[in-house]
Structure 1
Amino acid sequence: MEVSINSLASGIDTVWVLLCAALVFLMEGGFAALEAGFIRSKNSLNIIMKVIMDCTVGMLGYFAVGFALMYGVDKAGLIGWSGFFLKGDFTYLGLKIPLYAYWLFQAAFAIAVATIVSGAVAERMKFAPYIVFSLLATVVIYPVAGHWVWGSGGWLNKLGMLDFAGSAVVHSLGGWASLAAVLVLGPRTGKFGKDGAVHVLPGHNLPLAALGAFLLWFGWFGFNPGSTLSGLDTNIARIAVNTNLSAAAGGTIAAIYTAVKFGKADPSMAINGALGGLVAITAGCAFVEPISAVIIGAFAGMLVVFAVPFFDSLRADDPVGAIAVHGVCGTFGTVAVGIFAENGGLLYGGGLGLLGVQILGVAAVSIWGFAATYGLFSLLKATVGIRVSVDDEIEGLDMSEHGITAYSDLECNPLTALSPVPSARSFPVAEHRLAE
């Protein structure tokens, strides 16, 4: 049977996008392991359940409504309004792959936004209200921002904003939504003393968190190169290299800085430094040189080290560092495109035009994510409530919300659960960080 060049190309592109969609979806496993490792064992099953709900409820919401609001026929540059339940004509998108392949890839992005927030609200948020948030994040919050930047007719798209794979649309949005969520929710019991002291509530399994980071890093090779939507685009090689180099630089700088500054390299900072590099390069991975990717990643790794204690000082309790990694580094990475892009970047003779658009765009997306999440969490708090009781928090959300523990062979000692929370002095690296 004779196969035309066009059909062969379409087949290769389809397989490429489906493979990358699978890699992006695997990142949910990375998020689950990372977040479970960064929190206490008594809450680890609960956080995994929340990630699972992102994959189930969130996926259904994006199928029914979210994709239509994001990629439907444009309304005033603000929102799409057609194609609900994937019904209707999407030919105006100019896809060279089946709509279903494109939807699956985009759906994996959508659920990542909600999952970013799940880590920030870990250890004290009720399960049912979180499901409501996860649904609305994939139905409304993410799709609206996505339409502005990636939708046909979106106002930021028309201005020429460059966000190749989502430093702004996914990560800045999710990071600043996380800040809004934790401000409404409040810190974990014992995190902050009455005297203003910051107490360390150490994660129970940093090797598990590191495994999660490696899974995320691996999945990013679908997240960024897959956004070409074509396995025939030779730029996928440079995108993959830029992605890898930025992560390497971020992890290296975070590890070296903590080793020099505190006397010991901080594993959690090295993990989040690498993730910060991945987040930061996501906007510009297709537009910058490899040396620029190294610089962007290095700055992102340093930003994480400074941002984590900064948000602690604001009493914004984020157990996994989601605000620092996704909010701060996503914002920086989006702006960095205006500086380092080979076509239009400030350092390449492009002037201030692109840089101004990047700043405007990431500000708009971030403000939308923060405001929408703050409003939703405030509404949920005033109606159904979003916070578990102190007793349930002490017992652990695995038992109070799901009736089972993640580690059934370990019995919880209530006296240990009620004992004073260790101060930062119990953890030398953390002590030095908090003293800055």
Structure 2
Amino acid sequence: MEDMLYLMNSLWVMLGAILVIFMIAGFIMLEAGSTRMKNAGHIAGKTVFTFGLASLVFWAVGFAFIFGDNGNFFVGLSHFFYSGYQLEGMSLSSSVFFVFQLAFAGIAITIALGGFAERAKLSVYVLFTILFSSIIYPVVAHWIWGGGWLAEHGKQDFAGSTVVHLTGAMAALAATILLKPRIGRFNKDGSANAIHGHNQVFTSLGVLILWVGWFGFNAGSTVSVDGGFFGFVALNTNLAAGAGAVAALILSWVVLGKSDIPTILNGALAGLVAITASCAFVDTWASVVIGLIAGILVFYGARLIEKMGIDDPIFALSVHGIPGIWGTLSTGFFATPELATVGQPGLFYGGGFTQLGVQAMGVFVSGAFAFVASFIILFIIKRVLGGLRVSEEEEIMGLDISEHGSYGYPEVFADSTQKMTLTKTSTDHIAR
């Protein structure tokens, strides 16, 4: 029976890892659809490349800094260049567990790089991916998941509202502040101009892929099939996503007079982000409440961020940052005595403010560390490279052609260039 459980656990977590890695496809569709056509190929290509680069960095040092023995409250210090050997005390294949954790690191950097969209140099993506995946993400993950100081305080974050989503969002915030807004995003008087994404079908499909992948993200984090608890986690996950989408739809309909599609999609994602911390600690009714509040927060959060003059092209802050904070805090309210296997029950279950205080401390410290460390790293990269941003001319022509030499939609842009050339030739002929 032990051998069978070991095998089943390994298969389940491997399936979870595959689902989480496939979320990268969802991010490609979401980000490419949310940006302009002239940058679509760049968005897709750099997302695949940075995941590959982050995988190598995580293998070399990231896993060791999170889960290494002989460490301290701040970071782990063993298992560098992990070679597949079995770790102690695991009821599944350690190699499978490694791949599962690698997938989470890949999602975190993908979220972070959303703040760079449509204006950063490719070399900046490369350098920041290396440093984020080797320093920033592993440190926060060790604090909460690797036995660090926040784990010792009973910080509840089952699948990563703080570790993955808030950390990535704070890095995105540092990037968008240093890069400054895209050309034409804001007027001199501070008013905003909408820069619409080029394909809402892409963004919708991207969100659906992410939604399905989230079952690996949350339910896979049980790392066990024993008792079938992963089904309960999956149920909470789905309910929160649906509640977030419904809340965002209703709110946009009431406030804007139209049911705005990007808002609906962001509401679903916000619900997923928020329930990620609490999916194993709360009852089903609470997951609906958590998702509903997340859907409201993402609507007003996006507008607040815009009013602050921050250009957040793929809504990394309003979708991953603000709901990540709310989701982390929510366990301090809703964690039940029966499900709180980590930390204490929440305020509404007689636990007082103890767990809520721990959650708030974790949010503040983790978010501040991720932002400050990212800002410093990007500031140094800016000095070394002579800037983080492509030239104005390159930004206008699009990063597809300026960074990669070809368009993601070559027929469209080739036809446009050809028509411009033919028109100029005809005009010159008539003039002669």
With structure 2 as the length reference, what TM-score do the two structures score? 0.93
- CA 1:381 to 1:279, structure 2 compared with 1: closer, same or farther past 3 Å? same
Task: Give the alignment partner of residue 126 of structure 1, picking from 116, 121, 126.
Answer: 121
Q: Quote the residue 2:101 is aligned against.
A: 106
Given that residues 114 and 138 in structure 1 are in contact (C-alpha distance below 8 angstroms), is that contact kept between their aligned partners in structure 2? yes
How far off is 1:54 after superposition?
Answer: 2.2
Q: Does 1:391 align with 2:393?
A: yes
Give the residue type in structure 1 aligned to 2:120.
M
How far off is 1:48 after superposition?
Answer: 1.1
Partners of 2:86 and 2:180 in 1: how far apart?
43
Given that residues 55 and 102 in structure 2 are in contact (C-alpha distance below 8 angstroms), is that contact kept between their aligned partners in structure 1? yes
Partners of 2:267 and 2:230 in 1: how far apart?
24
Query: Deviation per CA, 1:81-117, whole angstroms, max 9, x where unpaired?
Result: 011011597745x211111000000000001111002
Give the residue type in structure 2 aligned to 1:410.
V
How far off is 1:290 after superposition?
Answer: 0.7
Given that residues 187 and 193 in structure 2 are in contact (C-alpha distance below 8 angstroms), is that contact kept between their aligned partners in structure 1? yes
Q: Which is higher, the Rg of structure 1 or of structure 2? A: 2
- Secondary structure of 1:319's partner? coil
Q: Quote the residue 2:163 is aligned against.
A: 169
Q: Quote the residue 1:422 is aligned against.
A: none
Q: Quote the residue 1:363 is aligned against.
A: 364
Partners of 1:108 and 1:233 in 2: how far apart?
25
Task: Give the alignment partner of residue 408 of structure 2, picking from 406, 415, 426.
Answer: 406
Q: Does 1:60 align with 2:56?
A: yes
Partners of 2:281 and 2:361 in 1: how far apart?
19
Question: More deviation in 127-136 or 270-279?
Answer: 127-136
Task: Give the alignment partner of residue 141 of structure 1, picking from 136, 150, 157.
Answer: 136
How far off is 1:50 after superposition?
Answer: 1.8
How far off is 1:74 after superposition?
Answer: 4.7
Question: More deviation in 387-396 or 375-384?
Answer: 375-384
How far off is 1:120 after superposition?
Answer: 2.1
Q: Quote the residue 2:79 is aligned against.
A: 83
Q: Does 1:44 align with 2:46?
A: no
Please show how residues 195-210 of structure 1 align to structure 2 within 5 Å.
195-210=189-204
Aligned-pair Cα RMSD in Å: 1.5
Q: Quote the residue 2:425 is aligned against.
A: none
Query: Deviation per CA, 1:246-276, whole angstroms, max 9, x where unpaired?
Result: 0000011101111111110110010011000
Partners of 1:367 and 1:359 in 2: how far apart?
12
Partners of 1:282 and 1:101 in 2: how far apart?
21
How far off is 1:362 after superposition?
Answer: 1.4
Give the residue type in structure 2 aligned to 1:71.
F
Partners of 1:333 and 1:90 in 2: how far apart?
33
Give the residue type in structure 1 aligned to 2:59.
F
Q: Quote the residue 2:427 is aligned against.
A: none
Given that residues 161 and 277 in structure 2 are in contact (C-alpha distance below 8 angstroms), is that contact kept between their aligned partners in structure 1? yes
Could you list the runs of 4 or more consecutive aligned residues of structure 1 that deviate by over 6 angstroms after TM superposition? none
Q: Structure 2, unaligned stretches of length 5 or more?
A: 338-344, 421-432
Q: Quote the residue 2:347 is aligned against.
A: 346
Query: Deviation per CA, 1:336-395, whole angstroms, max 9, x where unpaired?
Result: 011000121100111111111011011111111111111111111111021000000000
Q: Does 1:222 align with 2:188?
A: no
Query: Deviation per CA, 1:406-431, whole angstroms, max 9, x where unpaired?
Result: 111102758x99xxxxxxxxxxxxxx
Partners of 1:182 and 1:53 in 2: how far apart?
21
Partners of 2:32 and 2:316 in 1: how far apart?
13
Question: In percent, how many aligned pairs have the same letter?
Answer: 42
How far off is 1:129 after superposition?
Answer: 1.2
Task: Give the alignment partner of residue 330 of structure 1, picking from 318, 324, 347.
Answer: 324
Q: Structure 1, unaligned stretches of length 5 or more?
A: 418-436
Given that residues 247 and 274 in structure 1 are in contact (C-alpha distance below 8 angstroms), is that contact kept between their aligned partners in structure 2? yes
Q: Quote the residue 2:69 is aligned against.
A: 73
Partners of 1:234 and 1:213 in 2: how far apart?
27
Partners of 2:368 and 2:106 in 1: how far apart?
20
Task: Give the alignment partner of residue 11 of structure 2, picking from 9, 15, 31.
Answer: 15
Question: More deviation in 302-311 or 71-80?
Answer: 71-80
- CA 1:239 to 1:361, structure 2 compared with 1: closer, same or farther past 3 Å? same
With structure 1 as the length reference, what TM-score do the two structures score? 0.92
Query: Deviation per CA, 1:107-155, whole angstroms, max 9, x where unpaired?
Result: 0000111100222211000111111111221111100000000113x00
Q: Does 1:260 align with 2:254?
A: yes
Give the residue type in structure 2 aligned to 1:354.
Q
Given that residues 72 and 90 in structure 1 are in contact (C-alpha distance below 8 angstroms), is that contact kept between their aligned partners in structure 2? no
Question: More deviation in 398-407 or 69-78?
Answer: 69-78
Partners of 2:168 and 2:29 in 1: how far apart?
18
Please show how residues 283-322 of structure 1 align to structure 2 within 5 Å.
283-322=277-316
- CA 1:90 to 1:358, structure 2 compared with 1: closer, same or farther past 3 Å? farther
Give the residue type in structure 2 aligned to 1:10.
Y
- CA 1:9 to 1:88, structure 2 compared with 1: closer, same or farther past 3 Å? closer
How far off is 1:232 after superposition?
Answer: 2.3
Question: More deviation in 231-240 or 57-66?
Answer: 231-240
